[in-house]
Amino acid sequence: MHFKYKSYNFLPAKLTFLLLCFFSFSSNSQIVSGEMGSDEEKKEKPKKVKKEFNRDSLNGSTYYLTGMYTYGHRSFTDNSPYSTYETWNDQTAGSSGGITLGLLMDLNKNFSLDMGISYFGQKENYNFDDPDSDSTYFFSNTYMQLGVPIKLRYTYGDRLQIFGFVGLTPLNLLNVRFNESYNTKQGLSIISETELIKEKLSTFNLQTNAGFGMTYNLDWVGFTLYPEFRYNVINTYNPKTRPVEHNMFGLAVHAGMTLRF
């Protein structure tokens, strides 16, 4: 009986100890879980970093389209027996336009090959005013040409590029656009329709090119501007049918856009 009394007396103490342990473990768990939650809330989300564009990741081929302004003249010698073309010495330089579509292919870091197709005109003017009356006479010859420029280009820079080039342009002289206008003594103004002249021309010619310029790139798209000096090394006319020496030269200014893939 004495043993049983001691057992019953120990049981409430044991239960009390177990309850204290349970409540202690439960409070510690809540504190830990609360602290972990606050740490997670304090963690900042990773910021998105914008990746900088790298032009070197493109394959190196650049296409361009430019409009062209040309201001040109020619060297001229009349070789006819009776100076038939002597009045051509009075012709003056004129301006015209054109367009070029091309491709730049990188050879190494700085050098590239420039190839394309170009359609343009070169103009010469003649103007006469009669000092004794109101009569005037004006005509222009615009030599329309289709060429394939082949140039070697050296480029320095990346976003803003400075470049220079030299090259040759085999070309075909398509025709001469002859425009004529005059005023009579009575003050009547007459403008003739454009006449296309194809006879007596040397249809093939070779042009030398040299120039420099700049391009500003906006990732894939760029804007380019460059002047170019050009000189035709072959006589414009067939000397057997028209005994003259006529070699065109001039200044062209190109402006347009580039596109790189």
- The predicted structure's pLDDT at residue 43: 55
Secondary element (H or E) of residue 256: strand 244-260
Instruction: Give yes or no: residues 199 and 249 share one domain.
Output: yes
Cα angle: 163, vertex 164, 169; to 5 degrees? 125
- Provide the number of structural domains found in the chain: 2
- Residue 233 belongs to some domain of the structure: yes
Confidence of residue 183 (pLDDT cuts 50, 70, 90): confident
Cα angle: 108, vertex 211, 201; to 5 degrees? 115
Q: Which pTM does this prediction carry?
A: 0.77
- Residue 48 belongs to some domain of the structure: no
Q: Is the pLDDT of residue 34 over 50?
A: no
Instruction: Give yes or no: residues 113 and 25 share one domain.
Output: no
Residue range 71-76: mean pLDDT, rounded: 96
Instruction: Give yes or no: residues 192 and 159 share one domain.
Output: yes
Strand 150-156 to 136-147 pairing: unpaired
pLDDT one-digit tens code per residue, 212-259: 999 999 989 999 999 999 999 999 999 999 999 999 999 999 999 999
Instruction: Give yes or no: residues 209 and 175 share one domain.
Output: yes
Q: Is 143 exposed, middle or buried, given 0-12, 13-18 or 19+ CB atoms closer than 10 A? A: buried
Lookup: tokens for 244 = 């003259």
Please report, rounded to a whole number, the percentage of residues in the chain having pLDDT higher than 70: 77
Q: Are 74 and 43 in contact (CB under 8 A)?
A: no
Instruction: Give yes or no: residues 150 and 27 share one domain.
Output: no
Lookup: tokens for 255 = 């402006």
Q: Which residues pair with 194 in a beta bridge?
A: none
**CA 92 remoteness from chain centre:** 32
Lookup: tokens for 86 = 């002597």
Instruction: Give yes or no: residues 74 and 4 share one domain.
Output: no
Instruction: Give yes or no: residues 104 and 157 share one domain.
Output: yes
Identify the domain containing residue 211 by its residue range.
58-260
Cα Rg of the chain (Å, integer): 42
Instruction: Give yes or no: residues 174 and 99 share one domain.
Output: yes
The residue ranking higher by pLDDT, 176 or 188, is 176
Give the Cα separation of 164 and 223 in Å (integer): 16
Confidence of residue 130 (pLDDT cuts 50, 70, 90): confident
Instruction: Give yes or no: residues 98 and 155 share one domain.
Output: yes
Instruction: Give yes or no: residues 231 and 149 share one domain.
Output: yes
Secondary structure (3-state) at 246: strand
Instruction: Give yes or no: residues 33 and 66 share one domain.
Output: no
Residues whose CB falls within 8 Å of the CB of residue 39, separated by 6 or more in sequence, listed in order? none
Give the Cα separation of 160 and 153 in Å (integer): 15
Give the Cα separation of 164 and 28 in Å (integer): 77
- Cα dihedral sign, 192-181-246-114: negative
Secondary element (H or E) of residue 29: helix 2-42
